[in-house]
Structure 1
Amino acid sequence: MVALVAVGAFAARWSLLDWLVASDGTVRNVMEGLSWPATLVALVLALTPIIRRQLGLPSEESGDRGANALGQAVVLDTANPLVGRALHLVDGRLPEVEQVGLLQLRVKPAIDTHSDDGSDLPPYVERDLDQDLEWAIAEGGMVLLHGRAAVGKSRAAVEALRRLRPHDPLLVPRDGQALRELASAGLVPDGAVVWLDDLELYLGTAGLDVALLQRMCPSGGTGRTVVVATMRDEELVRYTTAGTAGSEEGKTIERATVDLIAYIQGRRRIPVAGALSLTERKRAEQMGGRDGRVRRALDAQEGFAEYLAAGTAMMDRWLIGDGPLFLVGQALISAAVDCRRAGYHKPVPTSLLNELHHHYLPPAWRHRDDRPSITEALHWAHQPVLGASSCLQPRSSNTDLASDYLLDRAQAGQSLLPEKVNDALWPALLHVVDPADALPIGFAAYREALPDVAQTAWERAATATTDALTPLGVLLDQQGHTDEAEQLYRRAIDAGHTDALGFLGLLLAQQDHTDEAIEHLQRAIDAGHTDVLRSLGLLLAKQGHTDEAEQLYRRAIDAGHTDALGSLGLLLARQGHTDEAIEHLQRAIDAGHTDVLRSLGLLLAKQG
């Protein structure tokens, strides 16, 4: 399904030719006496095998073949497939870990950091978590560091990689789809380091899921490939909540994402605290004499890493001030933060912020003609705070991105923004983003109980990606449009999205198409979707297949789905296993399933 496009082919070849035909080069002198077009053609043909060998690619005779998520062949063009998919390439190849600077890997600049490569960042203070982090990196597989924004997640991870894997190839994919394309084509070398800062940007059926992770890092294998990721706690809680029984969000959010987050457990899920431990403070105190920033950070109320990243100072710049320039600059920042709250985490066009910022100004200032210009206000918002990050970060092509620190605080309710995203933002944002980028915007709108906006977003996304079919089907299903929902589920299944199997099975069960419902629910379970184990058990129990139903309930309970506790308890009660029935009904109640309170009461009354 996924076709890898030859991106950057001409750029790569002409760059090499520029070197070859330099004004003082031998090749140029020869070419002066020959036909230029013929010579260029001959050079390209002659150099193609060399280029391919330098990039570590198979020969053209063998072809560049991989397999996509559905096992279909992916054929790459003869150009360098890394270009446009992997960042920070060196001579067209993946760089070594030590060749990429800290700031390039999105480690936040600290106060009074003036170098472009981060060489004058404060010295790294060893964290207590380093032991677990180094173990996970040495073992291979995936490790996730999580915590609030600006607590040192990225710095800890990158420092560990530089200590342990300085010369290994580093893959920083453009996005989740690029990672899937490269991995499916066999272009993630064994022993590579895959860096996914802000993991949520790389997830989903079009990006990283459990199957893709296991392909890159097979369990029990001899490979050393490691995937190192970071995630803010706000995002992690959202996905873990979506995976719990009874969660409304869990009914629409991509099951692949929820399953991956659940897959990363134990020592591979590392919390990063905002405050230093006693042992960490002692290490920092020993460094305080070498760097005054470290010494001052030890006394900061907001936390060691947050002080170094100027987090509180950035919040003060956004929230505290007066005068026309401040008000317009503040409105631009607020609009950019709201774009991220609305699910769009890419840089937004400056023209969109110009259009939206009126809605974030005080009413008295919205129609005044003497406001500062957008250019002046952007310059104010772009200024680094205390030499660290800026509230609004300028990006290429006249785009801007709000600081994730400000986003983190806004999502925690610690900003001037109201609980809900501004109503005017949704249609304006959907109008300018690419269709595929409308998918996460739909999820954000759904969480804010805006089904019309979510439907618009997913309908637009569905024109570019089949990932939108299942959530759109669920939304229409909830609205009673079952025929349209069924069609969408079937289209999603045909496109390889196994999460739609369970939803279609449940819809068919409601329509009393029991046999077909059982078939689809079983296929969903076979594909690893344990959330429908109980549903299949209920159908089989209704048909009198109590043994199979009991097994399914127990499997669901083992998988953490507490709603199956009550179902198993009721089944056991009907079979006369009263004591075990009481035990499971009590566990269901303890897990918050109050619907079985009466049933437990009846059993206890029966026992006197």
Structure 2
Amino acid sequence: MAADVMMRAVAENLWPEARGWLAMRGVGDVETLRHIDQAVSIEAEAGAIRAMTAVWFRRALAEDANAVLKIRDFVDRFGAERGSRTHNTVSGSTVGTLVQSGTIGTFHYNAAAAPPDPALWMPAAETTAVALGGRHDRPYVERDADAELDALVRGGGLVLVTGEPLTGRTTTAWAALHRLADHQVCVPPPGTDLRTLPERIRDRGGRCVLWLDDLERHLGDGGLDATLLARLTTMGVLVLATMTDTAYDEHRFGTSAHARLLLSHARVVELSREWSDAEWRRLRQHDDPHLNAVRLFTSLSITEYLAVAPELWAEWQWARRPSGRPRGHLLVRAAIDLARCGLRRLLPLELLREAHEAYGEDLDGSFEDALEWAVRPRLGLTGLLTEGKRGWGAFASLTAEAERDGATPPVPYAVWELALAHNRGAVQPRLRKELRARADAGEAEAAYRLGCLDGDEALLRTAADAGHVGAAGELGRLLADRGETREAEAYLEAAAEAGDARAATLLGMLLRDRARRWLHRAVVNEDARDLEAAEHLADLHLGAGEIDEAHYWYLEVVHTGSPRAAGSYGLLHRIWQQEDIARVWFDRAFDGGDRRYRDAYGDIMTVSQAESQLRVEYEEAEPGTQGVHATHLGAFLDNQGRPDEARAHYEEGFRLGDPYGAFRLARLLEKEGRPQDAATWMRKAADAGHPGARKALEDGADTVEG
């Protein structure tokens, strides 16, 4: 039978999958399915669960013409022996149609035996609000109506809690039930025949409460009526029920005589959606993230907030499946994580877009579709994301639950960085606390980031010694700045080999300086002077732009006949624009086998050749670089005594983005005796960022060289 298959799913922990399969295909009554789900969650007796499922399957077959095929698919999917044919025969009167693995037929049971009891039975003190139909499992906050409700409960009979939707009727009624520690509670699913209930209560013995959440679902044939209520009241059974205001009005003053008669005997406690000052004070006494978060949202009542919170959390978790709303899930996660970083106010939409992309997942669907899904109101109240005049944010309960739930993944560092850039003051204290916890747990990345944040060398050393590349580079820089270059080199080399370009640069500079120091020692050693060291030392000075020092050391070595030294010395003369002397030294180097500068420069260009090359470079320059080439052509023409042509190229260079063009033009105008025009162009150059122009304006002098 299908009920047997259901019980097998429960026994083998396949119930969540089975329930999801049935719900997605619309099999049977969803509310009753939820009731079975509650029975499974509290580990009710197997007989009770089986009886409830049998009732549920029978109702599904009676109400849906396609239910037979759907249930057959269910049996085929979850049955132990798929495709086999099974026949069950039990003597007795016919009850109706059933489903079993491979065969659909008529179910008979012994008429002398009592039908199975579909109700749940449990001690009142062991019940939970969620198990009895409540929407949340947060700590209960006492309501002003509790005292009145307790007094009515002690009087027995039918006690009814009413109110608008989402006023907390079920939770408040459950709290009163939970205080009846010496009672057992009977929870029948909707549609259960209650007429034999008195006998069952008598057989069980003890004090009993009949729980009827949403009483209107228990008023049909075989349900609660005035006669049954009288029998139960005589037995001392309390009937504790709930109804919405609309349902109460419909049945108390409607056309059904038996409902009007029944409800006329009810003693009613009305709940308001709005909380009193006393209830708010009691709320503040609870140290619970959800109850604290609700105070931030005055647009919803407390009961509305607590009702929608678990729905939002469940849907958000469900959406992460590939077949769900994975991009929407990530968008909401980004808002939650940014709030966990300390950004509790509404955020710009662009920040949410960047943050949800920072997780690095390749997802289908558009950002706009994900946003539309996330903001759609649930229960007619709010979306997972809320929108305000100043931006967007995750609904507060989601952030509170994420912070409470130990399974929520930590916030990725990429999201922390976005949050830090948005509001350092709000985020940095939380980030420091987060990094400290992760570093203490042995995470090298956290130690590195905290070390950078606080300038803590010990943390950087811990991370670097654990193999963290960034920490090695940062520690190397700190040591180098402090002059501890030998120790710095080891860390910088580790970082450089792993691809840290900045560490490689600094390491090269340190090694260059160390090389300079040792080369200098080699060349000044009176006992064993090495002139090759002088040549390399001169090269280092020349590369650093230290022309005089380079000249000094080249003079020390060129007399040795070194072709390489001759070529370098020629380059030095070319820098001084002593072209004829440079050519002599280049020839010496070339004839000695050093082809570096002869091959690179060839014969010295004539003036016309130089002008032609400069014009070609200007005309063929890439976009964005033309300004520099225009200015250089102007400078060449200026040096050749052609100021009118130079002026036009200076202006063109500045127009194309080179501040040096304006600076050169200012100098040209000064030479022509036009100080006011020169000052105007000097100001343009300074405003465009040319350092020489800024210094000239600061000094008020005309001595700055171009």
| TM-score scaled by length of structure 1 | 0.33
| TM-score scaled by length of structure 2 | 0.28
Greater helix share, structure number: 2
**Structure showing greater Rg:** 2
Greater relative CO, 1 or 2 (CA 8 Å, sep 6+): 1
